[in-house]
Amino acid sequence: MKSRVLYFGEDSEKQARFEKNLEPYDFTTCSDADYVIDLMKVEPPDIIIADADFNGTKKFVKDIKSKFENVYITALFSDKTDKELSKHSNCILNYNSPDDIILATIDTCLRNKKSQETLYYTNKNLASSLYRLNVLYDTSSKFAGGLDKNKLIDIMIEGMDKALSFSLTCTLSFCNPSEPVLIINSLYELSEEILSALKLRTILNYKMLYDNRKLPFELDESNLKIVKKIKNPTGRYNFNIFRFDNMFASIGQNEEFYGCIEIFKDTKFTTDDSTCFQTIARQVSIPLKSAALYQEIMETNEKLKKLEKIKSDFISIVSHELRTPLASIKNSVDIVLTGKTGELNPNADNFFQMAHRNILKLSDIINDLLDISKIEAGKMTFNFEKTNINSVIMSAKTTLYAMALEKEIEILTECDDTLPEISIDSKRIERVLTNLISNAIKFSDNNKKIKISSQKINAENINKDNLFKTTLEKLSGNYVLVTVADEGIGIADKDILRVFDKFSQIEDSSMRKVGGTGLGLPIAKELIENHKGAIWCESEPNKGSQFKFVLPLE
């Protein structure tokens, strides 16, 4: 095929000379810039000789260079050159040169053009290869540490989309053997008929993988669920998609099988496409196996939970055994402190008072251990009665009045007097309130205020923009909301979720100073949840905390 040379200009003398000297080439002339631009889109010339003497050549060359990447311009000058035109040209040709020089120059330009094209396409292919390598690396990084099988499948499909720009994928996933899923990712919407055809095609592909061997999972149309993900619902595919080029791969490693994937594209797949596709399909197999091992670990954890129950029962037994002698010691100390056994000197009185305080602390610890054991074993009894929550709030406030008075802390109440009675175990809810209020006192400086409020609220109106969003989104219907707000030291975000964990102690010097078993809030949480309610915390360091809980109206 002859190389194409186009002369852009309207000088008939120059046209005739070029036509005579460039006989080895397919030579054409044109002076219409728009026509040349249209020609570049269909059948571009190898070289354009742009006549500097022709009006509009500068603008034409600029337009051509801005719109087309791989175009070769030779600027033609008769006498002096133009710097701006030379800057946008690949070569400069002097019209006054001998014919053999002009022909040699055009030959050189063609060789340079071919070299540039080779370099251009080499760079383009290199850029494409680098992009795919980045996609493979990014996909591999996302696979690392992934323990959710379904998420790993999504990462695999996302990686293939980035690397191959597919039109449609059909991924058969056995991540949950009891519920096989066909995940369809499509650029455009699919009709029910096409979905049925893809479903049947996937089942046949799966069965063909094992030929006459036993299938790892039995599969038919009745037990195969379809999950459809459409990028652009405004468009729609028809049955022509089955004429698209396609590739198929199984997903698994050794004897482990997790599914298979088929990918469709409206253009031909290259050898590099196939390599990339198979690589990603193989890459996902390893983390899927890790995820399966993780699932085994989770099942082992369930067994450990049973051992935890045995431990809990042991704590309960030991606590009961400690309770009896502790009660006897407490009674003995109480009798001595009353003076019935004789008057105590000041030193003896101090030591007995110290013993009395520590007996009470130990008694509280044993009670907490017993309560948490009862709750975990499901043996805690509840006496539900219709009660007004405000009376429970006032009772808890009265109980802790002396404790607040020692730190000159004022306990304020803001209760809705129109609240209806609700069915609760008032003693258990008072235990929750005394725990929250006593914590507020412990972690507040002197001369601060604590505010307790109650109100009716619908689940839709509860502020869920916090770390307990998952718990709060499960609520529905009407509730009584109780809030205990303090002006204390507050809690950092990283510690808020831990406050309801058993034996949890937040690593803060002021926290450690007040002591405690770390069972008060977990017990409160269990008691509230046994009332079909929820408890949560909103806090900010140095700005106080708000502990809130809701109890259903019905």
37 within some domain: yes
- Based on the fold, state whether residues 321 and 356 are members of the same structural domain: yes
For residue 74, which phi and psi values (nearest 5 degrees)? Answer: -110, 115
- Based on the fold, state whether residues 371 and 299 are members of the same structural domain: yes
Radius of gyration of the chain from its Cα atoms, rounded to whole angstroms: 41
Name the pLDDT band for 411 (thresholds 50, 70, 90).
very high
Provide the terminal-to-terminal Cα distance of the chain, rounded to the nearest Å. Answer: 88
474 within some domain: yes
- Based on the fold, state whether residues 20 and 158 are members of the same structural domain: no
pLDDT tens readout for residues 137-176? 888 888 887 788 888 888 999 999 988 889 999 999 888 7
Last residue of a domain, one of 323, 351, 376: 376
Domain that holds residue 191: 144-283
Name the pLDDT band for 512 (thresholds 50, 70, 90).
very low
Report how far residue 405's alpha carbon sits from residue 450's, in angstroms, rounded to the nearest whole number. Answer: 12
- Based on the fold, state whether residues 345 and 419 are members of the same structural domain: no
Closest CA to 262 of 278, 282, 279, 247: 247
Q: Name residue 27's beta-bridge partners.
A: 5
Q: CATH number of the domain at 17, please.
A: 3.40.50.2300
327 within some domain: yes
Mean pLDDT of the chain, nearest integer: 85
57 within some domain: yes
pLDDT tens readout for residues 328-376? 887 888 888 887 788 888 888 888 888 877 887 777 777 777 777 777 7
Q: CATH number of the domain at 425, please.
A: 3.30.565.10
Report how far residue 79's alpha carbon sits from residue 477's, in angstroms, rounded to the nearest whole number. Answer: 91
pLDDT score at 86: 87
List the strands of the sheet with 245-253, edge to edge.
225-236, 181-189, 168-173, 256-265, 245-253
Mean pLDDT, to the nearest integer, of 181-204? Answer: 92
* Type of residue found at 335: I
125 within some domain: no
For residue 112, which phi and psi values (nearest 5 degrees)? Answer: -60, -40
Q: CATH number of the domain at 315, please.
A: 1.10.287.130
Which residue has better confidence, 287 or 316? 287
For residue 271, which phi and psi values (nearest 5 degrees)? Answer: -60, -40
pLDDT tens readout for residues 233-252? 889 999 999 999 999 998 88
135 within some domain: no
pLDDT score at 237: 92
133 within some domain: no
pLDDT score at 479: 95
Domain count, the chain: 4
Last residue of a domain, one of 228, 250, 283: 283
Mean pLDDT, to the nearest integer, of 4-32? Answer: 89
pLDDT score at 504: 62
pLDDT score at 188: 93
- Based on the fold, state whether residues 401 and 517 are members of the same structural domain: yes
pLDDT score at 506: 58
- Based on the fold, state whether residues 430 and 311 are members of the same structural domain: no
- Based on the fold, state whether residues 54 and 77 are members of the same structural domain: yes
Closest CA to 143 of 295, 280, 294, 297: 280
- Based on the fold, state whether residues 239 and 158 are members of the same structural domain: yes
- Based on the fold, state whether residues 395 and 544 are members of the same structural domain: yes
- Based on the fold, state whether residues 398 and 527 are members of the same structural domain: yes
- Based on the fold, state whether residues 107 and 18 are members of the same structural domain: yes
Contact between residue 476 and residue 500 where contact means Cβ atoms under 8 Å apart: no
User: Minimum mean pLDDT among 32-46, 51-65, 499-513: which range?
Assistant: 499-513
Q: Is the pLDDT of residue 536 over 90?
A: yes
- Based on the fold, state whether residues 417 and 548 are members of the same structural domain: yes
Contact between residue 168 and residue 264 where contact means Cβ atoms under 8 Å apart: yes
Last residue of a domain, one of 63, 88, 120: 120
Report how far residue 283's alpha carbon sits from residue 143's, in angstroms, rounded to the nearest whole number. Answer: 8
List the strands of the sheet with 26-30, edge to edge.
26-30, 4-8, 47-51, 73-77, 91-94
Name the pLDDT band for 484 (thresholds 50, 70, 90).
very high
List the strands of the sheet with 534-539, edge to edge.
410-415, 449-458, 478-485, 545-552, 534-539
Name the pLDDT band for 316 (thresholds 50, 70, 90).
low
Inter-helix orientation angle 389-399/426-442, to 10°: 50
pLDDT score at 410: 92
174 within some domain: yes
pLDDT score at 318: 67
Q: Is the pLDDT of residue 491 over 50?
A: yes
The pairing of strands 26-30 and 4-8 is parallel
pLDDT score at 514: 53
